[in-house]
A and B are shown apart, each in its own frame.
Chain A
């Protein structure tokens, strides 16, 4: 009777049990809570800025920074603006990131391949390397290398190799190309860029020809040859003065030379001790992670793939190159990209060993400029770097993904 009555007077789902209402209520409440919390923070920051006369805004960017930056790869004077100094610091981080990524990838792949080797000594050595370097904080690595570099002899008593390369506690100095006049150098660099594009196109077309017709086309060799040929030809033309003016090569080599009472080294390129310690620490640390990723990726390829490839007659080397590695790459690339990001972010530890990276310079900047604005700038810079790496990684990933063709 009771049931019938309830059925007859059914009014729909009560509002507090309606999924639609619950969902929206939940979203609105959580959204409101966060908005309230964030605005409370902002009001407090606003109050604090007014009460304590803390400067804010971005007008400081055009002021002179007036603080030296240790190692810098772009020309920098203390009288340059905050904006330019920030840019110089960003380049410092970018250079560490790019060089570190390249070296760490090479070392990581070598260690990873050794780890998978059937050779007992190689495999165990790689294991010890990975287990040791992964499990110790990067900061300890960096300090270790930093003090190792500090223990090198001073500049005057430092080691020199054939009067060309100098190693001492000031860092590592080696010959570096320097442009002979901006005109020819610029022209040549432009030609090289074009040559790389041409080489890439050649490689691509030959590769397509090879897959469609089966005719051996040496796509990689010919692509590289095209690039080198065009660049070399342009170099020759510029050197003999056919299109340039002075008739000298676009780039010369600048050699490091010690001089003065303290034996300061000028010329060439000098990597400061902090930068070397940072690079060695970052590369050896990240390589341990990359090695594990490489191993995991290769082991994720089904055993049958290798066996099938060997049984149709491919050699061990060709099996790795054409069968195992391309499949492993799909697993490897996303994780390796996140390691690249980690390396870039870890380079912010550089401040501890005296290399002026983005975070270190920004930290110094907060003494004379508004912290809020600087924080926003660093965040944007790091997020932009992450984005660039992710985009490159995703593009590459799309290039190698399984298309079934």
Chain B
């Protein structure tokens, strides 16, 4: 009893003054040893110089007008040129597709109840609305385009309201709707022959960020299931299945994507009968998906190998058949263990969509490069263009890795 009271009466001392406050923080983090003082000096110098020249370049030296001149071509490429769309009135179709995506994002916001989804929704809606008020390219961007940009906020609110007040506000409904929306967007972009306002636009003219995102969505959606199948095949004891999967994975992992893409353009048309319907966009999507699946399979195999064999044995002992053991016991744990690797693969897939330049598709990077090549007066502004593109890609990929970290926290990776 007396020991207890002594503990209670002893006062808790504050941390020593040398480690608190700004001075303390600096002492602990920057100048705690002679070596660190040296490091701080060197890196501080680098930081100051980099910031000085970087900011000076961004705000004074760089000529950002080139971005305005590129304008909508960054987003939709050549989709709205005369050759693709006679009358040049097709710009509303990609933008309508964007509005549909915003509705879905609004629904997701409502279902998740704020947090990260809300921040992403607000960020993207804000960026799109900001596009409506851009001073650059005034002559290029009509009022209709600006209104369609601004409509993204009402679309977000509409999605939010739908999810809040109807029965569609569940995760499974959103998944179903997302799939339908994707098909709808493809139809919208491709057009239907004979229908007014929906003139068919050849996929050869699809381009810009739209193309990167479409290829990435297809690749992400398909490479995970294919990768899981391949991983299961590779860890299977059936010799023929195993051999087939290993051959596929190692071939696709051994050769650069760019070589595969280029050869798909030269060889794949030969491998099908002459009247077989195919086009370069579909071929690119298939090759990117298969390439990514091979890497995905290796990631998932790593996850499967990290499982304790006891898990499978316990499931079998409970009487679950093999397919249920795989589907409900092994895979969920395996995938949870390798979420960072999977998202890393998604990110590199998104970055790799820029390689379609090799088959002559004008994605956002190639579009910009072709523009600079075709307009030598902008040659001096090439750096600005690629810094801008880097920032655009960075926003998307950083969002992806941020979401992955959140999902990991949510699933308690490394805690169970």
Give the B-binding residues of A (Cβ under 8 A). Answer: 23, 26-28, 30-31, 34, 41-42, 44-45, 48-49, 51, 54, 114, 117-122, 125, 131-132, 134-141, 143-144, 147-148, 150-151, 345-346, 348-349, 351-352, 359, 362-363, 366, 371-372, 375, 378-379, 382-383, 386
Contacts and interface: CB of A to CB of B under 8 A. Distances in A.
Q: At the interface, is chain B mostly helix, strand, loop or mixed? A: helix
Contacts of A144: 383, 386-387, 390
A122 B259 CA distance: 39
A31 B238 CA distance: 11
B256 A345 contact: yes
A363 B360 CA distance: 13
Contact of B258 (A137, A143, A348, A371): A348
Contacts of A351: 258, 358
A182 B379 CA distance: 46
Contacts of A383: 250-251, 254-255
Given A131-B398, A135-B393, A140-B354, A375 B40 contact: no
B190 interface: no
Given A136-B390, A348-B256, A371 B267 contact: yes
B256 A346 contact: yes
B351 A143 contact: no
Contacts of A119: 29-30, 36, 39-40, 43
Given A139-B355, A359-B262, A118 B29 contact: yes
Interface stretch (B1-9, B268-276, B277-285, B310-318): B268-276
B259 A386 contact: no
B240 interface: yes
A118 B393 CA distance: 31
Contacts of A151: 380, 383
B259 A378 contact: yes
Interface in B316-369: 347, 351-352, 354-355, 357-358, 365, 369
Contact of B255 (A30, A45, A345, A371): A345
B270 A30 contact: no
Given A122-B39, A140-B386, A140-B393, A27 B255 contact: no
Given A139-B354, A139-B357, A140-B389, 18 more contacts: A27-B239, A27-B240, A28-B240, A34-B244, A49-B270, A51-B274, A121-B44, A121-B47, A125-B43, A132-B390, A137-B393, A139-B365, A140-B393, A143-B365, A150-B379, A351-B258, A372-B270, A386-B254
Contacts of B387: 144
A346 B271 CA distance: 27
Contacts of B274: 48, 51
A191 B300 CA distance: 49
B397 interface: yes
Nearest to A19: B322
Contacts of B19: none
22 contacts: A27-B239, A30-B240, A31-B244, A42-B271, A44-B272, A45-B271, A119-B43, A121-B43, A122-B43, A136-B393, A140-B354, A140-B386, A141-B390, A143-B382, A148-B383, A151-B383, A351-B258, A352-B357, A359-B256, A359-B262, A379-B251, A383-B250
Contact of A379 (B44, B254, B382, B386): B254
Contacts of A371: 263, 266-267
Can you list the 10 inter-chain pairs with the closest CB atoms, starting with the nearest? A147-B382, A27-B240, A135-B397, A137-B351, A345-B256, A120-B29, A348-B256, A144-B386, A41-B271, A48-B270
Contacts of B351: 135-138
Nearest to B380: A151
Interface string B377-396: 00110110011011001100
A359 B257 CA distance: 11
Contacts of A345: 255-257
Contact of A118 (B36, B382, B390): B36
Contacts of A48: 270, 274
Contacts of A138: 351
Contacts of A378: 255, 259
Nearest to B369: A143
Given A120-B30, A135-B401, A349 B258 contact: yes
A403 B261 CA distance: 44
Contacts of B29: 118-120
B32 interface: yes
B55 interface: no
Given A41-B271, A45-B267, A382 B255 contact: yes
Contact of B267 (A51, A120, A131, A372): A372
A153 to B, nearest CB: 13
Nearest to B401: A135
B46 interface: yes
A111 to B, nearest CB: 12
B241 interface: yes
Contacts of B240: 27-28, 30-31
Residue with the greatest number of chain A CB neighbours at <10 A, chosen from B40, B259, B365, B379: B259
Contact of B365 (A23, A26, A125, A137): A137
Nearest to B243: A31
Contacts of B382: 143, 147, 150
A345 B267 CA distance: 20
B301 to A, nearest CB: 14
A371 B352 CA distance: 24
Contact of A348 (B254, B259, B354): B259
Contacts of A363: 262, 358
Contact of A23 (B43, B44, B46, B238): B238
Contacts of A54: 270
B58 to A, nearest CB: 14
A147 B386 contact: yes
A51 B44 CA distance: 68
Contacts of A150: 379, 382
A5 B253 CA distance: 58
A349 B261 CA distance: 12
A118 to B, nearest CB: 7
Nearest to B239: A27
B241 A27 contact: yes
B28 to A, nearest CB: 8
Nearest to A45: B270
Residue with the greatest number of chain A CB neighbours at <10 A, chosen from B39, B274, B397: B39
Given A135-B397, A359-B258, A118 B267 contact: no
Contacts of A147: 372, 379, 382-383, 386
